[in-house]
Amino acid sequence: MERLANWHSRVFEPSISVEAATTTLGIISPPPKCVLPTETYEKPALLESSCTLSTLIGNFPGMAYRCCPDGKWTMEFVSEGCFSLTGYYPQDFINNQRISLLELIYPSDRERVWYEVETALRQNRPYQLDYRIITAAGCQKWVWEQGRGVFSPTGDLQALEGFIIDITQHKWISEEAARNTAELRALFAAMTDMIFVFDNRGYCLKIAPTNPDPKLLLKPPDELFGKRLHEIFEPHQADTFLSYIQQAITTRKTVNFEYNWQTDHGEAWFAATISPSLDDSVVWVARDITERKRSEQALQQAEAKYRSIFENALEGIFQTTADGHYLSANPALARLYGYSTPEELMARLTDIEHQLYVDPHRRNEFIRLLQEHDAVSDFESQVYRKDRSIIWIAENARAVRDMNTGELLYYEGTVEDITERKLAKEQLHERAFYDSLTGLPNRALFMDRLGQAVERAKRHPDYRFAVLFLDLDRFKVVNDSLGHLIGDQLLVAIARRLEACLRAEDTVARLGGDEFTILLENIQEVRDATCVAQRIQQELMAPFNLDGHEVFTGASIGIVLSREITPGVCITEYDRPQDLLRDADTALYRAKALGRTRYEVFDLTMHQSALSILQLETDLRRAVENNEFQLHYQPIVSLTTNQIIGFEALLRWQHPTRGLVYPDEFISLAEDMGLIVPMGWWILREACRQLKRWQNEGFPGQ
């Protein structure tokens, strides 16, 4: 700015010649209101021209000026338009009375403005620049200035002349346009869609700078510019696309379509939109839908696979509404229910609950479980087939709901015919828990029910029950004499008579061989059990007619009660079912010992006796192993000769704690234990050995 001031060699006079005014760059700056020097009145043409020029400058939408290059831009002339531009009057600028042009410029722009002006003056050329100003109201405006330096014939800078106009709105528009352009470019850069402009002949006129996947393109987008459709696509595709372009131009409506092409990486699919433009051209937007197409193809394949499984599955598959109407059914389901086709099934079965289920409540239970858990597995029911025959089915189902609202859409699932499986299961159950000959419960089932009775008695003090243990008398004779076939028939006949003697809540079981047990539920006293025992014995005493043979038999019965009813009759309470069976067997043993074909009720003395017998059995086996037996000899004397002619060998048991035990206490037990034969051989050996010793010792006699 100091250099500009140095170039000012003289003070510019307020009055100027017309010639000087007309030499500036289109800027004519006579004084306001056409006040001209006196000599100019002698020239009417010049006067008229100056007035015209003054009028033009006064109406200029901006600010014309002339200032000194003194470093402060001291104004010598300012047009009337400065007020609308800056809010200051012209006189405010003249000689910097109120503000200088330098002060008007936005502070951060001043150095740049002066630099550009200085550079233009140095190069003796006009200057053009934009910058910001601060108006009198404190507002910021953008202005554009054009001016030049006025030089003397000797080259001295005399003044600066120019004009300034308001470009704020233009600046805002430009900046907004620049922002929009940048945003549009960023949008295009982020887009994977391809955008082209084609004319009505199919030539590519423009290409938007989008960023599609290069692997999906036949050619790079920039190589498509200027090409016709027939140079880009196959002929049949190009003809079709050209017709779409002409259709969009003619109808002024958007055309939507899909197309594909083969790339080095496989088939690529696009969804295209052709929209008419303002002239005879269209905008073509192509979006890559390859993945969507692949997903659709995968879905179609999955649907085809599902349909194949649905149609060919061995299990029945269904979809139903919540109120029991079939939405779909496969052929297997139709066959399972006895219908020819799924269509017939769905037409005939309109109320699943009442038409299909033998027990409609099972359907209600099925739906309840689905509502609570959204899934049900292996739900078993009996259903009617078309011919009203009944089968067992197992259903697996789930509730299908709307992913957004959770609303129930339908139920779907599978159905399997388990009739044969049920039958096999029942047969296995029969084998596991029932006697194959008589059909009565076996030992396992009887012990299970007896265990339940024991637990029930613990929970309910008033509940009592009894166990009867039966053993047939003379069954071995029948079996050995008439054969096992008749023996089996006898067991079956006895089972039927026993069932006839009992209530429905009681249980009769065959433990094996000719042994039967009975569980009498809810008895009140001992007499309830003994009456049943008497009735059984009366029934069994009647003859059995088996294949022409009249067979008689009877039964010994042992009875045990679950809880003491009369003092001394039984122990207070049982904790284990096997203890009950043990004591019933003990009572049976007592009945047999007292004469057979009778019954005995277990009491505490039997228990003690049973314990004694058990201990005796243990000691007896140990006696054989420990040689605790002894032979006592009693001589036989002839009354004729008074000579010893022999001896009786008498067996005694020298018990380690009880002392000498006589045979009447253990011989019958030895027979039951199977020890009597080896015991007899031991006696013979010991007697012969003793006789030999006597002979060796010279004992007289034969």
514 is catalytic: yes
For the chain, what is the domain count?
Answer: 5
Question: Each residue of 52-63: pLDDT tens digit?
Answer: 666 667 667 889
Average pLDDT for 567-579: 71
Looking at the chain, the whole-number percentage of residues with pLDDT higher than 70 is 88
Most confident of 365-379, 561-575, 649-663: 365-379
Tell which of 266, 294, 322 closes a domain. Answer: 294
Confidence check: pLDDT of 370 > 50: yes
- Same structural domain for residues 156 and 199? no
Phi-psi region of 385 (alpha: psi -120 to 50; beta: other; left: phi over 0): beta
Per-chain mean pLDDT for the chain: 86
Question: Each residue of 346-356: pLDDT tens digit?
Answer: 999 988 888 99
User: What's the pLDDT at 254?
Assistant: 96
Tell which of 144, 173, 202 closes a domain. Answer: 173
- Same structural domain for residues 238 and 134? no
Of the two residues 681 and 519, the one the predictor is more confident about is: 519
User: What's the pLDDT at 20?
Assistant: 38
Structure token pair of residue 509: 């079981």
Q: Please, how many CA atoms are within 13 Å of residue 698, restricted to the half-sphere of its CB? A: 0
Tell which of 423, 452, 469 closes a domain. Answer: 423
302 assigned to some structural domain: no
Active-site pick, 92, 435, 506, 514:
514
Band (pLDDT 50/70/90 cuts) for residue 702 is: low
Structure token pair of residue 370: 């689905």
- Same structural domain for residues 215 and 275? yes
User: What's the pLDDT at 9?
Assistant: 35
Average pLDDT for 320-327: 87
Angle at 690 between CA 687 and CA 696, to 5 degrees: 145
Question: Each residue of 67-79: pLDDT tens digit?
Answer: 998 878 899 999 9
- Same structural domain for residues 445 and 532? yes
- Same structural domain for residues 571 and 504? yes
Per-residue b/e over 627-641, b at no fewer than 16 CB within 10 Å? Answer: ebbebeeeeeeeeee
Angle formed by the axes of helices 577-593 and 443-459, to 10°?
Answer: 110
Confidence check: pLDDT of 5 > 50: no
The DSSP output letter for 78 is E
Confidence check: pLDDT of 570 > 70: no
How does strand 599-601 pair with strand 281-288?
A: unpaired
User: What's the pLDDT at 53?
Assistant: 63
Report which residue type is found at 29. S
Confidence check: pLDDT of 108 > 80: yes
584 assigned to some structural domain: yes
Confidence check: pLDDT of 7 > 70: no
Average pLDDT for 354-376: 92
Confidence check: pLDDT of 302 > 90: no
652 assigned to some structural domain: yes
Average pLDDT for 511-520: 95
Domain, as residue range, for 410: 313-423
- Same structural domain for residues 408 and 459? no
115 assigned to some structural domain: yes
- Same structural domain for residues 598 and 632? no
- Same structural domain for residues 459 and 520? yes
Q: How crowded is residue 479: how many other Cβ atoms within 10 Å of its Cβ? A: 19
Average pLDDT for 235-253: 94
Between CA 631 and CA 293 the distance in angstroms is 108
Question: Each residue of 608-631: pLDDT tens digit?
Answer: 676 777 778 888 888 877 888 888
613 assigned to some structural domain: no
Question: Each residue of 386-398: pLDDT tens digit?
Answer: 999 999 999 999 9
Order of strands, edge to edge, in the sheet holding 629-637?
629-637, 644-655, 659-661
The DSSP output letter for 462 is T
How does strand 599-601 pair with strand 554-561?
A: parallel
118 assigned to some structural domain: yes
Question: Each residue of 32-44: pLDDT tens digit?
Answer: 444 444 444 456 6
Report which residue type is found at 365. E
Confidence check: pLDDT of 148 > 90: yes
Between CA 625 and CA 81 the distance in angstroms is 146
- Same structural domain for residues 635 and 567? no
Question: Each residue of 633-660: pLDDT tens digit?
Answer: 898 888 888 888 888 888 898 888 888 8
155 assigned to some structural domain: yes
Lowest mean pLDDT among 131-135, 224-228, 455-459: 224-228
Lowest mean pLDDT among 157-161, 220-224, 335-339, 516-520: 220-224
Average pLDDT for 677-698: 87
428 assigned to some structural domain: no
- Same structural domain for residues 565 and 540? yes
Between CA 152 and CA 68 the distance in angstroms is 13
CATH number at residue 406: 3.30.450.20
Furthest-apart CA pair in the chain: how many Å? 216
Number of separate helices (H) and strands (E) present in the chain: 24, 25
User: What's the pLDDT at 58?
Assistant: 63
Q: How crowded is residue 691: how many other Cβ atoms within 10 Å of its Cβ? A: 15
- Same structural domain for residues 251 and 230? yes
CATH number at residue 508: 3.30.70.270
- Same structural domain for residues 356 and 441? no
Looking at the chain, the whole-number percentage of residues with pLDDT higher than 90 is 52
Band (pLDDT 50/70/90 cuts) for residue 47 is: low
